[in-house]
């Protein structure tokens, strides 16, 4: 068998291709950013053609830098930004519109209407999700209603929908020359259109959004020995490689963090934060603002479910300090600036740029910096930004404990912000539990590689994957209980100041 597995990691700000050996060690990578298109307030788009072009480039460059051929790869996995919605013509391969990104809030009236007439409760019961701008169903409806010719093309079977995993899989398996239109259960579970119990598209849910069923991809397991098809020789790999792993990015991170047992949790720090708790084969419905979602599915085995707390703005708040406020020149400078003061000087920053996600689900919220005085400097705002990342995560931990009864002893963390050691120390302080970062921080791509490799026998079992996991750094809490309670109390008060700012009715 070939010695390596490859993984495409198509994220919110960039696309990368990574290559791993049997020990889960990185042996090659290349990464390229793509444009963030912001047509108006609350709208966030990507160019699907640019994303495909970036994918081709990162695959070719990573393989060349590692001096590898397609025959060196046992399998290929894909992981992707979930919910981001692409609608394209299967005959021409052209998108009808830019990809509408998960952060986009243009569908707020669609979401609020669902809750007003009772359909929202059906969505919660069947799909495990609250009606929100976050998910794909409303984005598809918006494109059908606002882009000329799309509904007619959908009725003819020409216009098809997919998240970015489907878009890339379709291209990799042939595109207009017979490409396969498929997705996996984890991505499908983020649309408001899939029934969590049957793992199939639900006709009642489709009717809520007036979406033709023939637009939707076939739903497959996350790790599939039957393959999604071959990445063919004319494509970026230059040879045939089986495509056998496909997971949404946060579920892929669970794979990469080897959270295979019920009660294990991880928190990924990226553009947003995403905490998942494995609940096993039990479908646990949240009463505290969390999402019930599919964690993964191995071949014909029963699906494994998770509770998830999705936070819209964390790493992107640091980008905002850099790109809009210009108080730092690089994201890494946020740590140095924040560390120059002992605390936030009474400042609280709630970065509700896209409303508030879990556990509040308030699309009427908008960002606020409160507690300012003339004493405060850019350093206090930088520190309040790092604290906002950690307090939003505490909101989710509190909800998870209420829903599941699980009290965390340690939180596994991954993603770009985990290199910010001050932020991770604040996280341990805010939660009152240890925070653990693995040696391989790019767990999203690693998880996609693991899913693909398991399907072809490159790795024999999840126990083998556990042996690959090693800790790089652990942070212990340093705050006392009074500091922790006071800080969280101020945070909750600040959150209340952000609500009822936008009229979504």
Question: Which residues contribute to the annotated binding site for sn-glycerol 3-phosphate?
Answer: 12, 82-83, 134, 249
Residue numbering of the annotated binding site for glycerol: 82-83, 134, 249-250
Residue numbering of the annotated binding site: 12-14, 16, 82-83, 134, 249-250, 271, 315, 319, 416, 420
Q: What is the distance between the alpha carbons of residues 200 and 139, in angstroms, rounded to a whole number?
A: 19
Cα 496 to Cα 11, 177, 360, 427, 501, distances in angstroms: 31, 53, 10, 22, 11
Instruction: Give residue 202's Cα distance to chain centre.
Output: 23
Q: What is the distance between the alpha carbons of residues 395 and 417, in angstroms, rounded to a whole number?
A: 18
For residue 486, give the H/E element and its range.
helix 481-497
Residue numbering of the annotated binding site for ADP: 12, 16, 271, 315, 416, 420
Residue numbering of the annotated binding site for ATP: 12-14, 271, 315, 319, 416
Cβ atoms 436, 413 nearer than 8 A: yes
Nearest CA to 166 out of 141, 130, 190 is that of 190
Q: Phi-psi region for residue 447, left (φ > 0), alpha (ψ -120 to 50) or beta? A: alpha
> What is the secondary structure of 3-66 as a DSSP string?
SEEEEEEE-SSEEEEEEE-TTS-EEEEEEEE---B--STT--EE-HHHHHHHHHHHHHHHHHHT
Helix intervals (H) in 301-377: 315-320, 333-339
Q: What is the distance between the alpha carbons of residues 85 and 81, in angstroms, rounded to a whole number?
A: 10
Spell 178-209 as b/e; 16+ CB within 10 A means b.
Answer: ebbbbbbbbbbbbbbbbbbeebebbeebbebb
The residues, any chain, with a CB within 8 Å of residue 247's CB and separated by 6 or more, are 77, 78, 79, 184, 186, 187, 222, 255, 296, 447, 448, 451
The residues, any chain, with a CB within 8 Å of residue 207's CB and separated by 6 or more, are none
The residues, any chain, with a CB within 8 Å of residue 202's CB and separated by 6 or more, are 126, 127, 193, 194, 195
Instruction: Sheet with 273-280: list strands edge to edge.
Output: 291-296, 304-311, 273-280, 265-269, 410-414, 434-438, 471-475
Nearest CA to 498 out of 347, 346, 353, 297 is that of 353
Nearest CA to 293 out of 249, 251, 263, 244 is that of 251
Q: What is the distance between the alpha carbons of residues 420 and 318, in angstroms, rounded to a whole number?
A: 11
């Amino acid at each position: 068998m070939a010695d390596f597995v490859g993984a495409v990691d198509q994220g919110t700000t960039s696309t990368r291709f990574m290559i791993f050996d049997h020990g889960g060690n990185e042996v090659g990578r290349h990464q390229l950013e793509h444009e963030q298109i912001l047509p108006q307030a609350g709208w966030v788009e990507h160019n699907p053609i640019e994303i495909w072009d970036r994918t081709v480039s990162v695959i070719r460059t990573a393989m060349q830098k590692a001096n590898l051929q397609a025959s060196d790869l046992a399998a290929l996995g894909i992981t992707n930004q979930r919910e981001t919605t692409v609608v394209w013509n299967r005959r021409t391969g052209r998108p009808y519109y830019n990809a509408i990104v998960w952060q986009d809030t243009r569908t707020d009236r669609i979401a609020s209407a669902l809750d007003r007439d009772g359909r929202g409760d059906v969505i919660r019961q069947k799909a495990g999700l609250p009606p929100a701008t976050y998910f794909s169903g409303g984005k598809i409806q918006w494109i059908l209603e606002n882009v000329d010719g799309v509904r007619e093309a959908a009725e003819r079977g020409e216009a098809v929908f997919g998240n970015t995993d489907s878009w890339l899989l379709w291209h990799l398996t042939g595109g207009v020359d017979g490409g396969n239109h498929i997705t996996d259960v984890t991505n499908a579970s983020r649309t408001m259109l899939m029934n969590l119990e049957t793992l199939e598209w639900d006709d009642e849910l489709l009717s809520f959004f007036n979406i033709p069923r023939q637009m939707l991809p076939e739903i497959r397991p996350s790790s599939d020995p039957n393959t999604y098809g071959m990445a063919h020789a004319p494509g970026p790999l230059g040879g045939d490689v089986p495509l056998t792993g496909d997971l949404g990015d946060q579920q892929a991170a669970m794979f990469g963090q080897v959270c295979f047992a019920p009660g294990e949790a991880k928190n990924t720090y990226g553009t947003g934060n995403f905490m998942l708790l494995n609940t096993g084969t039990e479908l646990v419905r949240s009463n505290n603002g969390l999402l019930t979602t599919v964690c993964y599915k191995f071949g014909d085995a029963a699906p494994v479910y998770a509770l998830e707390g999705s936070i819209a703005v964390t790493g992107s708040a640091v980008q905002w300090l850099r790109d809009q406020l210009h108080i730092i020149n690089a994201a890494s400078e946020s740590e140095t600036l924040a560390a120059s003061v002992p605390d936030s000087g009474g400042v609280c920053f709630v970065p509700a740029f896209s409303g508030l996600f879990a556990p509040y689900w308030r699309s009427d919220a908008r960002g606020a910096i409160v507690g300012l005085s003339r004493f405060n400097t850019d350093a206090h705002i930088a520190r309040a930004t790092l604290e906002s990342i950690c307090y939003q995560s505490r909101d989710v931990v509190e909800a998870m404990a209420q829903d599941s009864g699980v009290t965390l002893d340690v939180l596994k963390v991954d993603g770009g912000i985990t290199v910010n050691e001050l932020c991770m120390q604040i996280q341990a302080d805010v939660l009152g539990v240890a925070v653990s970062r693995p040696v391989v921080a790019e767990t999203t791509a690693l998880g996609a590689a693991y899913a693909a490799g398991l399907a072809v026998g490159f790795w024999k079992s999840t126990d083998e994957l556990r042996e690959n996991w090693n800790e790089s750094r652990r942070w212990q809490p340093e705050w006392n209980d009074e500091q922790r309670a006071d800080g969280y109390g101020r945070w909750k008060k600040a959150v209340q100041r952000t609500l009822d700012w936008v009229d979504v009715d």
